[in-house]
Amino acid sequence: MNKNIDIDPIKIPNKNVTIEDIKDKAKQISENYKDEAIGGYMCGDGPIPSDILFIGEAPGKNEIIEGKPFVGMAGKTLDNYLNLANIKREDIRITNTCFFRPIKIKQGKTGRETISNRTPKPSEVELFREVLDAEITLVDPKIIITLGNTPLKRLTKFKTIGECHGKLYFNEELKRYIYPMYHPSSLTYNRKESFKIAYEDDWKNLKEILKKVLTAK
pLDDT above 80: residue 12: no
How many Å apart are CA 2 and CA 33, to the nearest integer?
8
Confidence class for position 13, pLDDT limits 50, 70, 90: very low
Q: Is residue 16 part of a domain?
A: no
Q: Give how many domains the chain has, as a whole number.
A: 1
Q: Is residue 197 part of a domain?
A: yes
pLDDT, mean over the chain:
92
Q: Which structural domain range is residue 190 located in?
A: 42-215
Instruction: Give buried/exposed letters for 118-131 (b at 16+ CB in 10 A, else e).
Output: bebeeebbebbebb
Helices 73-84, 193-213: crossing angle, 10 deg rounding:
60
Q: Is residue 135 part of a domain?
A: yes
How many Å apart are CA 216 and CA 31, to the nearest integer?
41
Helices 19-32, 129-139: crossing angle, 10 deg rounding:
160
Q: Is residue 112 part of a domain?
A: yes
pLDDT above 50: residue 209: yes
Q: What is the largest CA-CA distance in the chain?
A: 62
128-161 pLDDT tens trace: 999 999 999 999 999 999 999 999 999 999 999 9
Q: What is the pLDDT of residue 14?
A: 53
How many Å apart are CA 119 and CA 40, to the nearest integer?
15
CATH at 118:
3.40.470.10
44-101 pLDDT tens trace: 999 999 999 999 999 999 999 999 999 988 999 999 999 999 999 999 999 999 999 9
Q: What is the pLDDT of residue 106?
A: 92
Share of the chain above pLDDT 90, in %: 83
Share of the chain above pLDDT 70, in %: 93
The total of other beta-carbon atoms located within 10 Å of residue 6's CB is 9
Q: What is the pLDDT of residue 110?
A: 85
